[in-house]
Structure 1
Amino acid sequence: MEQAGKRPLAEEQVRKQLEKTGETPFIFETLDIGMDPNVFLPMQQLNEMRRRALAELEKQICRQYHRELRANPENRENRAVFCDREEIVYKNTNERSVENRPELTILTETIEQFRTVEVFAEEYRGIHRVYVDSAMGGDLFRTPEALLICECLQQSGVEVYLAMPHIFRNETEALFTAQYAEKIRDGFDGILVRNLESIRFLERIGFDRNVITDHNLYVFNRYTKQFWKENGIAQFTVPLELNRQEIKELGIEDGEMVLYGNLAVMISAQCVEKTTRGCRKKDGMTVLTDRYQNQFAVRNRCRECYNVIYNSAPLYLLDLKEEVRELAPKRVRLQFSVEDKKQTEQILHAYRESFVLGKQTERMPEDYTRGHFKRGVI
């Protein structure tokens, strides 16, 4: 709770948010609210408090029925364990220690990557959240397979967040408002935003679940972190411009850190494909080659009419487990963009080997960058 700066939190607002028990097995018969008259709390934090309280209540109720399946002496390495809903279950008992391990999130842009993550989620139950790009398949909301995977992941306990477009023009806002507003409000556990226009859109449609800023909406210091909290956004992605010491000074105990990804070096409204071959009005990939023969993948997003130009080498920090743990991020992210199925699998298993099994992974890309992690802004 904070001292209210302008408009204090009303009891009616608190009651309305707390009574939204949704698809949980609970409803309130009575709800007594005791609060100071001049306090403020962002709606997101209030919603998160409600979700955690109901999850803990369900956990406590189920605990009395908790039981374990004794290990099969002929197969000690891989054994099944009945456990509480929030306890992470692994096939290999060496993976059961979760002390000091940040939550894992994964961002996917293609349906092939999304399928691969779904299969991995069946094998490894430690995925906390998956971000699905709104333009997946050209238009996520018109791609039945992607929507089905979203439902399957949510049913298995994985949060599914919608990743909004990098550019959100008036035309896109009109489309989302007219056709997708209800699906966005009810179908996703939260939203990843990359621009202020998306935040305004979410406010207009009454979205009241979690919102997290992407790394380009800078949380460069504690002042900007506080700014977003005061405006109802408590989750953030660590800026890629900060080095290790600057990240430590910022404090990311409530932040999300990107450990892998072919990151965007430019978002451009000038379409490479339209300039070189003519507009096909269809999403696709093009490659730019610089004078050093470095190749930069370019994805054209036709619905919003912009290009994403990706770095020629991915950010890779998966082998720096101890340095990452020292920073104590709440979550770490694997960010897939141009990867095929094999490359996606390679990175997923590299994370598991390093952060879960504690092994020195050998599944490293041939070419990679540390970004600014060890040097900072020049």
Structure 2
Amino acid sequence: MGEIRVSIERGEQLKAVLQFPFIKGIYLDEGAFSEEELLKYRGEIQNSGKWAGLRFRRIQRREDRGRSPKDWMEEAKNEEGFRHFLLRALDQVAMLQDFPDRKFSTCFDYTLYSYNQAAMEVWESLGAKEMCFPIEFRFQEDMAFSEWARSRRISTELLCYGHLPMMVSANCIEKTRNGCTRGNNVVSLQDRQNKSMPVRLYCKYCYNQIYNSDVLSLIGLEKEVERLGASSFRFDFTVESEKEILELFQGKPLKQFTRGHFHKGIE
């Protein structure tokens, strides 16, 4: 089995995941924490013996305040700072080209389109050494993706748990409803089936992410997951509390979840 990784967006989530020795790496979400928090939590992760990674923002603008993804890469160039980066936008892939002899590692996330072989080959030509399985793939397509990656000696990361994004928006729900609060918190939308969809407000970079109401989980599909031969397995935590994370890793069954497209593809 491959390495277990998690991504987190809240301090209490870090407290939970640090308790499990089998978790080898932790991504901090760039948009969810202030730069002071990123540095503080990075130190805590590294002191625990795990590696600290940075999951970059989904939307990137020239007017964004603070450090850019390129600044974080520059810091890591000489084996300092974060050691792993999760790239989520084309701008970040472009920045990566300025570091041909980089000492840090990167993973191209599922938000970077890799639904067909032509797209995969583009990422390979732009320096992809590790790629996340596309969330649109069903199991048979994942198998083909895994075979292609192995033939190119590209590592793979499989998302095993997490709320899947339905929409990313620069039009802020909270600003429209109540005015800008810079709360950097989670609100919700009600769909036609009366289900509550979490909406994460990334006020640091002024965008929203609307998530599916049901969380993706591949827990219980260990035989199929193992056949994919992924190099690593990732758990994305967004709205989960410390207690919920502890219960998940302690084996408490989920009440409601989806398998995404793992068994049912898209047309």
Q: Same fold, TM exceeding 0.5? A: yes
Instruction: After superposing the two structures, state which structure 1 stretch, 286-295 or 207-216, moved more.
Output: 207-216
1:306-350 deviations in Å (ceiling 9; x for gaps): 101111000011111011001111111111011011111122233
Structure 2 unaligned residues grouped into runs of 5+: none
| Cα distance in 1, alignment partners of residues 232 and 222 from structure 2 | 13
State yes or no: 1:273 paired with 2:174. yes
| Cα distance in 2, alignment partners of residues 180 and 368 from structure 1 | 38
- For the residue of structure 2 that corresponds to 1:176, the secondary structure is coil
Contact 1:286 1:299 in 2 (8 A): yes
Change (3 A) 1:170 1:206: farther
| Cα distance in 1, alignment partners of residues 265 and 238 from structure 2 | 24
Equivalent of residue 219 in structure 1, options 89, 114, 137? 114
Higher Cα Rg, which structure: 1
**Match in the other structure for 1:285:** 186
Contact 1:262 1:315 in 2 (8 A): yes
**Match in the other structure for 1:24:** none
**Match in the other structure for 2:255:** 366
The count of corresponding residues between Structure 1 and Structure 2 is 257
State yes or no: 1:128 paired with 2:24. yes
1:144-198 deviations in Å (ceiling 9; x for gaps): xx533322332444221110000011112x6324995455553101210110112
Q: Once the 2 structures are TM-superposed, how far is the Cα of residue 227 of structure 1 from its aligned partner?
A: 2.4
State yes or no: 1:115 paired with 2:19. no
| Cα distance in 1, alignment partners of residues 87 and 121 from structure 2 | 17
| Cα distance in 2, alignment partners of residues 158 and 312 from structure 1 | 31
State yes or no: 1:165 paired with 2:57. yes
1:219-267 deviations in Å (ceiling 9; x for gaps): 2234433322221121111000000001111115521001110121110
| Cα distance in 2, alignment partners of residues 278 and 346 from structure 1 | 36
- For the residue of structure 2 that corresponds to 1:175, the secondary structure is coil
1:109-135 deviations in Å (ceiling 9; x for gaps): 111111211122xxx2x2232111012
The TM-score, its normalising length taken from structure 2, stands at: 0.88
Instruction: After superposing the two structures, state which structure 1 stretch, 185-194 or 225-234, moved more.
Output: 225-234
| Cα distance in 2, alignment partners of residues 273 and 184 from structure 1 | 35
Q: Which amino acid in the other structure matches residue 302 of structure 1?
A: C
Contact 1:210 1:233 in 2 (8 A): no
Determine which structure has greater relative contact order: mean sequence separation of CA pairs < 8 Å that are 6+ residues apart, divided by chain length. Answer: 2
- For the residue of structure 2 that corresponds to 1:170, the secondary structure is coil
Equivalent of residue 194 in structure 1, options 73, 78, 88? 88
Q: Which amino acid in the other structure matches residue 89 of structure 2?
A: N
**Match in the other structure for 2:4:** 104
Q: Once the 2 structures are TM-superposed, how far is the Cα of residue 202 of structure 1 from its aligned partner?
A: 4.2
Structure 1 unaligned residues grouped into runs of 5+: 1-100, 351-362
The TM-score, its normalising length taken from structure 1, stands at: 0.63
Q: Once the 2 structures are TM-superposed, how far is the Cα of residue 200 of structure 1 from its aligned partner?
A: 2.6
Change (3 A) 1:245 1:171: same
Q: Which amino acid in the other structure matches residue 46 of structure 2?
A: Q
Name the one with the larger helix percent: 1
Change (3 A) 1:184 1:296: farther
Q: Which amino acid in the other structure matches residue 26 of structure 2?
A: V
1:243-322 counterparts in 2 under 5 A? 243-251=138-146, 253=150, 254-322=155-223
Contact 1:244 1:374 in 2 (8 A): yes
Change (3 A) 1:282 1:220: same
Contact 2:143 2:228 in 1 (8 A): yes
Q: Once the 2 structures are TM-superposed, how far is the Cα of residue 366 of structure 1 from its aligned partner?
A: 1.1
**Match in the other structure for 1:175:** 66
| Cα distance in 1, alignment partners of residues 18 and 39 from structure 2 | 12
Q: Once the 2 structures are TM-superposed, how far is the Cα of residue 291 of structure 1 from its aligned partner?
A: 2.2
